[in-house]
Amino acid sequence: MKTVYSLEDLRTQIQCWRRESARIALVPTMGNLHAGHISLLERARALADRSVVSIFVNPIQFGKGEDYAKYPSTLDADMEKLGAAGLDLLFAPNLAELYPGGIEEDTRVTVPGLSAILCGQFRPGHFSGVATVVTKLFNNVQPDVALFGEKDYQQLLVIKRMAHDLLLPIEILGMPIVRESDGLAMSSRNAYLSPLERGRAPRIYAALQEAATKLSKGAQSIIAIETAAMADLAAAGFRPEYFSVRRPTDLSSPQLGDTSVQILVAAWLGSARLIDNLHVALDQPLAIL
């Protein structure tokens, strides 16, 4: 595994691979890697001749009072995991080079509409920060394919829309959520959970499963299902922000006759903000809203 820290070194390596007509896959991350990240790399290696992982904690996707300053930095351990998994190139850029205009004045990329709902409502500017840094990575790595985890489902749709609208010739792939044995979606922020909170955390996935069962039976309205889930999470010690049933393609509200939905949730447990989602293929077209 080769590690580069500058855009010049990154571009030199990419140009070399391009001269060899190599197919390149990119996995953008913020580090503190877990098995979910490694699953993305494994798929990337299967899809391309060369694999690139970026590690960069992106300040402009964090809002005021969020955890940018304390986000876990585990570069040495991450490098060991990536090397063992067969990565070709690790890109670990520095802040000044990636944001030459400074983080307050640097150009932003914004995906309207989709960025303002759900997580975007509670984290204003977050998805603009994500879209901006991913665009910078795309411009410099020029991958044929880029892989993202479906745990951040709204983020995945934002990036797909951005690539489509900006005419970027990159295939964007979402990869299945990797879960702990008790169902909790793997996340770097799970490290913020106390032992007691970690024991409660799988309740968020259980709430998704219970809602999916209710939707499949078609006996309750979507609003009733969402309201009950919010109340159940609050009773279990969470501070839920939203629990919402949406269309999988664009996160708009479901319509009668839909045959599948995406259930999405964000909830605080202690100092950890947990997100999760579940795709539901309905046995019968949606008959009640």
Tokens 């665009």 belong to 135
Beta carbons within 8 Å of 169's beta carbon, 6+ residues apart: none
Number of other CB atoms surrounding residue 174 within 10 Å? 18
Q: Does 34 participate in catalysis according to the annotation?
A: no
* DSSP-assigned letters across all residues of 155-213: HHHHHHHHHHHTT---EEEEEPPPB-TTSPBP-GGGGG--HHHHHHTTHHHHHHHHHHH
* 56 C-beta neighbours (distance < 10 Å), count: 18
Distance, in Å, from the CA atom of 225 to the CA atom of 243, rounded to the nearest integer, reads 9
Torsion from C-alpha of 180, 185, 188, 189, nearest 10 degrees: -120
State phi, psi for 213 to the nearest 5 degrees: -65, -45
DSSP codes, 73-123 = --HHHHHHHHHHTT-SEEE---HHHH-TT-TTTS-----TTGGGSTHHHHS
Catalytic residue among 34, 37, 126, 164: 37
β-pair type (239-246, 260-269): antiparallel
Active site residues: 37
